[in-house]
Amino acid sequence: MLRSMTGFGASSIEVDGARYAVEVRSVNNKYFKAQLRVPEELSALEAEIESALARHLARGSVTATVRADFGIVSEGSVLNGEVLERILHDLDKSTPDSIRDRCTIDLAGLLAVPGVLVHESVEAVVERARPVVLELVDKACHDLIAMREREGGALSEELDRHRVSINERVDVIRERAPLVVEQYQERLRQRMTLLLEDVGGSVNDEDLMREVAVYAERTDIAEEVVRLAGHMHQFEQLVCNTAAEPVGRTLDFLSQEMLREANTIASKSSDAEISRNIVEVKGLIDRIKEQAANVE
């Protein structure tokens, strides 16, 4: 299955009052290249995040943005639930029933009570965030891949249309090639006959066939046509591939080889019909090269 290199995925979650969010975007690139935007307190996770991206994505320029909002709990601190529960219990017991319903609790002031917030080390913050962030990266990548596959389906259809068009023109060239030599032989015979009539001579079949053989050798495109047809068969297998293996680089290389054979055919043949078809083939191969640059 073809995948585009353009995509977007996002995921978020709230855990213990802290909210984490991850966004992953990708655009075309010949190789895999990751750019990370991670909060300073989670910078120790950058290498693991890049490795997680590389496991999912083989090609493209990928930008991953990680956000962490710890809410009312400051960065590097955790809420001590036992202390908070004891304070609330004591307040409930010590507050008279006559004023309990009219009382409100100042949350900011409550957090300022010694022991309610316990400061963590940077290492502890990272350890707490690691499984959450890496899971979000995986989920965002899955969304991005789903988008890549949808766009890849459209690319696959377009590439297959180009393949069909090229094969039609290659078939015309294959059928036309033997006729070119026959037509050259007939034209040469007529020309030689006209020239020799003035001196009372006649066409020597041996000389004629020798000249035709030289022309046929010089303009023989059978080998190039066979190789181009072979490339098109491999191209079909790549485009119709149902596996998840990346094929973008192979398609790019294959399109270069296809263009090489087409250029050789164009340089060898002087037939107008073949030249017209091979020009169209080269144009279609150029479109394939452009689209292959979008495939993972």
What are the two backbone dihedrals, phi and then psi, of residue 28, each rounded to the nearest 5 degrees?
A: -65, 140
For residues 101 and 295, which has the higher predicted lDDT (pLDDT)?
295
pLDDT confidence band for 167 (50 / 70 / 90): very high
Q: Both tokens of residue 285?
A: 């191969």
pLDDT confidence band for 48 (50 / 70 / 90): very high
The yes-or-no verdict on residue 201 having pLDDT over 60 is no
Helix (H, G, I), strand (E, B) or coil at 203: coil
Residues 6+ apart with CB under 8 A from 120: 76, 77, 78, 128
Work out the mean pLDDT of the chain and round it to a whole number.
81
What is residue 296's predicted lDDT score, i.e. its pLDDT? 87
What are the two backbone dihedrals, phi and then psi, of residue 173, each rounded to the nearest 5 degrees?
A: -65, -45
- Domain architecture of the chain: domains with CATH: 7-73+122-149 (3.30.230), 77-119 (no CATH), 151-292 (1.20.140)
- What would the mean pLDDT of 205-217 be, rounded to a whole number? 60
- What would the mean pLDDT of 165-171 be, rounded to a whole number? 94
Q: Given the DSSP bridges, would you call strands 32-37 and 18-27 parallel, antiparallel or unpaired?
A: unpaired
Q: What are the distances in angstroms from CA 271 to CA 174, 229, 248, 274? A: 13, 20, 35, 5
Query: Percent of the chain scored above 70 by pLDDT?
Result: 69
What is residue 98's predicted lDDT score, i.e. its pLDDT? 56
- Taking only the tens place, the pLDDT of each residue in 90-149 is 666 666 665 556 666 666 666 666 655 555 566 777 888 999 999 999 999 999 999 999
What is the model's pTM? Answer: 0.68
Highest mean pLDDT among 8-22, 118-132, 187-201, 264-278: 8-22
Cα distance between residue 103 and residue 81, in whole Å: 22
- What would the mean pLDDT of 189-201 be, rounded to a whole number? 57
* Sign of the alpha-carbon torsion through 67, 73, 77, 79: negative
- What would the mean pLDDT of 266-273 be, rounded to a whole number? 83
Cα distance between residue 288 and residue 258, in whole Å: 10
pLDDT confidence band for 268 (50 / 70 / 90): confident
Least confident of 12-16, 71-75, 119-123, 282-286: 71-75
